[in-house]
Amino acid sequence: MAANSRFDLEGRVVIVTGGGKGIGKVYAQQFAKAGARVVAADIDGMAAQAVAEAIRGDGGAAIGLTTDVSNPESSHAMSEAARDTFGGIDVLINNASLMSVLPRRSWLEIPEEEWDRVMAVNLRGLFLCCRAVFPVMKERGYGKIVNISSSRVWEGNPNRLHYTTSKAGVIGFTRALAREVGEHGITVNAVTPGLTMSDTQVASSSNNYLATRLEGRAISRPQVPDDLVGAVMFLSSAASDFMTGQTINVDGGKAMH
């Protein structure tokens, strides 16, 4: 196998949850540019369809789906649509999560129902989406699952305790699932992004907060969604076939993991 072919994503079927907005939208666009066939799945179905339409308009292959990852029927329908449209599923990017809509506040002020909703989307959603695609990947004897965690787990950032807790759970989930599905040729890895200047993050953050989050980075500039694409694509390609259960930190060198 030539070195460059290990990174080839041409024709791969890639599901991106949360693919209608923010960083997920960028993942969907960049995978399509790399030749992958993309399923943009988002709770905001119109946003997901707009992403898919734009990809098709540029000559790529994509569909947009209304998907609630915390709902088993919806997650299963996502998997079925990907298989029916493109003939299989090679990669699942578990990107959907509740974060930017969460107020920053003391853990004593977090409503119990908000805690439960964060866990339902950020952890149960992960679980349900993996179970939905597993039969298709198992049948083919190959698959890539990339779970998006957060660099908050290395730093212990306060004021969104439920979010940080859920993203720490993503790492434990990644390690345990890797051992359960490795025999089927499926790898499961995670990425921990630093604070990233996506459209949704910028809209929910003050300039002062964003400025403070740059402090301590070895690379002292704002992180943008494109900074994450390389790591996610690497974990989605044949170049990482012997890596599983691992977590790659991409935060400009703030947390040295």
Q: What is the pLDDT of residue 190?
A: 98
Instruction: List the domain boundaries for the chain.
Output: 8-250
- Token couple for 21: 């907005």
Q: What number is the average pLDDT over the span 148-167?
A: 95
pLDDT value, residue 102: 94
- Confidence band, pLDDT 50/70/90 cuts, at residue 42: very high
What are the residue numbers of the active site? 163
- For the segment 46-79, what is each residue's pLDDT rounded down to a tens digit? 999 999 999 999 999 999 999 999 999 999 999 9
Query: Can you give the pTM of this predicted structure?
Result: 0.93
| Predicted confidence (pLDDT) at residue 9 exceeds the cutoff of 80 | yes
Please state, for a pLDDT cut of 70, what percent of the chain lies above it. Answer: 93
DSSP class per residue in 173-187: HHHHHHHHHGGGTEE
CA distances to 13, 191, 253 from 257, rounded to whole Å, are 30, 11, 9
Q: How many CB atoms lie within 10 A of CB 136?
A: 19
Q: Answer whether 33's CB lies under 8 Å from 60's CB.
A: yes
Residue 221 has a pLDDT of 86
The pLDDT of residue 198 = 64
Mean pLDDT score of the chain: 93
pLDDT of residue 201: 57
Tokens of 37: 């066939």
Residue type, 90: D
8-250: CATH architecture: 3-Layer(aba) Sandwich (3.40)
User: Residues 233-238: what's their mean pLDDT?
Assistant: 98
| pLDDT at 133 exceeding the cut of 50 | yes
For residues 18 and 48, what is the distance between their CA atoms, to the nearest angstrom?
8
* Model confidence at 24: pLDDT above 50: yes
In angstroms, the CA 213 to CA 218 distance is 12
Window from 175-179, 204-208, 222-226 with minimum mean pLDDT: 204-208
At 77 the three-state DSSP class reads helix
Q: In the structure encoding, which two tokens stand for residue 186, read together?
A: 């499926």
CA pair distance 19, 8, nearest whole angstrom: 21
pLDDT value, residue 70: 98
Least confident of 163-172, 220-229, 236-245: 220-229
Q: For 91-125, write each residue's pLDDT tens digit.
A: 999 999 999 889 999 999 999 999 999 999 999 99
What is the CA angle 163-249-244, rounded to 5?
95
Give the sheet arrangement for strand 91-94, strand by strand.
61-66, 37-42, 13-17, 91-94, 143-148, 186-193, 247-250
Identify the pLDDT of residue 1: 47
- Mean pLDDT throughout 203-229? 76
